[in-house]
Each structure stands twice: as C-alpha cells, then as structure tokens.
Chains A and B, each alone.
Chain A
C-alpha cells in the first residue's frame, strides 16, 4: 500500500507571527516547524503500516526552501521518502491554488491512501483535504478521530456535537485526522540519523505541468483588503483572593449586568 502524508511547514505559534508587506504570512519572521496538527497524520500513517506490516510512506509538502525541514522532521519519526514542491511562483497561493498543486503532486505519486492534518496551524482554514478529495475524485473522509485500514477499506470515527459516526469507504481514499487520534511519537536518535539518508525529491511547477500564472498571490480568488493588529486587551483588575474573591467577582459581574 502506498500512503502519502501531507505535511506543512508553518511559523511556530509560540512566536510572534505576522504578515509581510504583500499581505502573505511572513514565513521568515518566526522559526518554522512541522505543523503540530500534521504530526498526528504522520503518526496515523506509521500506525497503519505497523499494523498491516506493509506499506510505503511518502511525505509531501509545498512551501519555500525551509519547508524541507518539515519533511526531515516527519522522516525522523519514520516513513520512507519525501517530496518537496517548491517554486517561486507558488508564493502567496490561496487554498484553491494550494490544492491544485498538491493534487497534481499526489496524482503523480498514485497513492492508495492520503492522510492530512485537520487544519494548518497558520491558515487554519481546514479546507485543503476536502478540496483535494474533489480535485482527485477520491472519497474524502475528514476530521477522523480514529482511523483503521482493513481489506482495502478505510474506516473512521467522526465526532460531532450530536453524534459519533462510523464511516467506511473503499481505497483509494483521503483522510484528515484530528488531534483526538492520539499523540504523535517523538523522533528517536536513530530515527533522526536515518532520516538524513532517506530520499527527498524536489519538484517544480513545470514538473507537475502547472502554469505559473494559475497559482500564487496574483491568481488568488480572494484579496486581503486590510490587516490590523488587534489592540492588546486593556489590562484589567487582578485581585488576590483574601477570602471574599467570589463576592468581589460577583460585584464585577453585577456591574457588567451579567447577574
């Protein structure tokens, strides 16, 4: 079985993230990392292979030079190979163009199973997996809280506020996984060393047969009109509890007409 896992390199949420002058996410201002939410996808792929005893995992990322770090991190957790789609023209792509590029790369890899994270931690749109399902014409099961593969079928559990639903589909299929699937493993020292020798290919738009004009900031189907830093919240009143903290809190709530 061939598995492709999508991994995105994102600015670390712990840093002071910001936008560049061209309204795109400033990917140089803050150190990048493999999106934590894609680590869950990596973990599920590794578990699928461990449980079935067979399978080949390729990580796919689209992003600037530094995005290859996300591939190395994933490879240090396990898996076999990486593909990095990098091209100047991709800069500033919206989710529509991102899904176009990723779909072309996935088609080239011909996987049985594609696993994505639930959302990127920078864009947080949570739309790329569904867009890929449409573009690739394969079943997309999103926001899986658990994943199992058996006999050419994928079964997931999806939790909503109303119900917990079990869904089954035949492969090939695409799955996006939530942080409810279980903590991702830490790379071992051996894993980190082994990752250095695993093959990583770099593909350009030309390799995928995509015209540069259809991706990037200029081709985006929505435009940013304004970016304003939210004013920091005014520091409020913080009191130590001297035994009547609850009463003082009630006074505050009364003054705000909440009681």
Chain B
C-alpha cells in the first residue's frame, strides 16, 4: 500500500488534534506517514504512533523555524521525493495552505483546500459561497495535495511503533530569501483552541466594548469553551484579531456556537455556518443570525448571558 503523507501541525512537539484527524483520514487512503518539521520530535512521537503513523520523517534543521514557510516546503518535497506518496494531507491553516500551494506548483500536482472531509476514494468535501453549497471534488493530476480543516473527522487510535527516518534537505535560495527580523509571541488565553473547540462563545458589536467581553469570557469558561469575536468587535480593538470568526478570520465548526450581539452578516456566517448547534442572543428580533439559530433569545445580552452563566454554575452544582 502506498504511503500517504501527513504534515504534522505542532507547537514545539505538542501535536495538534487536527493532525490526529489527518492520520485517521490517511488510513482510509493508504499507509499513514507523518512528516515532522522543526524541534520537539520526542514530545510528538507517542501521539503520532497512537494514531497510526507507520513512519515519521523528521527534519529538525534550524532553517525550518528560522525562515518563513518556503523552507518547510523544501523539506516536505524532499520527503515526497523519497516516499513517492499517493497523497499529501496538510492542515488547512494559512501556513498549511501556503505550503500546499507552493508544493502543488513544484510537484505539478492538483490541490484542494479547506476540505471538511476526504473519503476512501480521495473525494474531498468542501463548502462554497459562505457554506451555502457542499462540493465534492477530486484531484486528477499528480500527487493529490489536500488541505483539511479542523474537526473533519473523529480521530481513531491505531497503535503503531513508527520508524523514525531522518531526512536531509537542501534549501533553495528563494526559500531563505526573506529574513525574520522580529518575533513577538502572543499571550496564551488558557482556553481551548478556537478552531478545535467543541463549544465557541462569540461576541460582536453588541458587546459594546472591551470590558463587555468579560461577560462573554465568563460564559465561555463556564462551558469550557473558546471565545470568538466578529470582525466589528475585533476591528474596534475589543478582542484580538486572532479570535475573529468569519471569512477573514477563523472558520469554526463546533458542536455548539453561541453568538452574542452579532447580527450574522454573510462574512461572519461563512466562518460558523457549519456549526452543529447555533444559539443566538440579540436584542434585534430581525437580526439575520436568528435565521440560523436552533435557539435564539431576543434580549439584552448583558441580562441574558450572565443569567445563563449563573444557571450553568448552579446546574453543575
């Protein structure tokens, strides 16, 4: 059976859940091999083996983290030349999509981005036009390169002891042509990752200001949820842009999405429309968000949300 490469998405070796989803999908298509770039392999190996990676290709060169995305493309393509995979799966982050785009040109391969699932025939499911259409498509030329969104499938364990293969890479001049001159790390919230979270609690312009977000955060914490924001709230500086949900922010597909003080513009819907259950709190009964909501409360979020948070506390005892 041919290998299917999964590019590991990790932070210092802590493997993101999306990678375990990709390994699960890879098993439908062939023999899963992980491609691990950067530092932290020791932390990652157990997880990769638990989710069925037969091999782990490793590139730990300083070039990986010392430059922008193109060096990762060099590394991935070196592995591709060695493994001759039948498909390449990458997480649909902005970095993942860029690696996929660069690889598709260098390999002469077709590419599908933002798949919400991939079946055993290699048919990828995608959403189009702000999630109003569901498209099935397939790469017909070269080695299929598919970027897959978080929460695509339930990860299934399949214990293996992966063979570790060190790979040596020659980096192209183009890949090392841009210099990183400064890195300012961002503060961590301690909450679940927005794109992976089972529950997302979001606030929009109706939250009225940065202070208003404490109400949103309190509800999120009561539910163990991630916090999201509309672009109006992010642009106003009330909540960091990294938490924006929508066309130019994150796409989320949680079990439960709670929109507070968000009108439900098409660009916002594009990022949350595929959530399993949608709840809205908005004082305007005409707000388009109610067209999507499984349950909506027409009212002031500053009355409804704290009451809900308190009630959750009571019920959890």
- Residues of A in contact with B (beta carbons under 8 Å apart): 13-14, 17-19, 37, 94-96, 99, 118-119, 121-122, 124-128, 130-131, 133-135, 137-143, 155, 158-170, 173, 178-180, 220-230, 232-241, 243-250, 252-254, 256, 258-259
Contact = CB atoms under 8 A, between A and B. Distances in A.
B295 A127 contact: no
B298 A241 contact: yes
B298 A240 contact: yes
- Of the listed residues A19, A223, A237, the one surrounded by the most CB atoms of chain B closer than 10 A to its CB is A223
Contact of A167 (B128, B180, B247, B300): B180
B178 A226 contact: no
Contact of B11 (A127, A162, A228, A244): A162
B110 A258 contact: no
Closest 3 CB pairs of A and B: A246-B307, A241-B299, A221-B110
Contacts of B300: 241
A119 B113 CA distance: 12
Q: Main SS of chain A's interface residues? A: mixed
A130 B102 contact: yes
B105 A96 contact: yes
Contact of A133 (B102, B293, B295): B102
Given A221-B142, A250-B311, A142 B98 contact: yes
Interface string B155-169: 000000000000000
A259 B312 contact: yes
Interface in B278-317: 278-279, 281, 285, 290-300, 303-312, 315-316
Contact of B181 (A121, A138, A168, A238): A168
Contacts of B241: 159, 180
A167 B68 contact: yes
B296 A164 contact: no
B266 interface: yes
B178 A167 contact: yes
A170 B306 CA distance: 53
A256 B136 contact: no
B81 interface: no
A234 B102 CA distance: 41
Nearest to A156: B178
Contact of B311 (A127, A232, A239, A246): A246
B180 A96 contact: no
Given A130-B98, A249-B297, A221 B111 contact: yes
A14 B266 CA distance: 7
Nearest to A229: B133
A253 B100 CA distance: 39
Contacts of B128: 19, 227
Contacts of B291: 232-233, 235
Nearest to A121: B247
B295 A236 contact: yes
B179 A168 contact: yes
A134 B104 CA distance: 10
B295 A96 contact: no
Given A134-B106, A221-B139, A246-B304, A239 B296 contact: yes
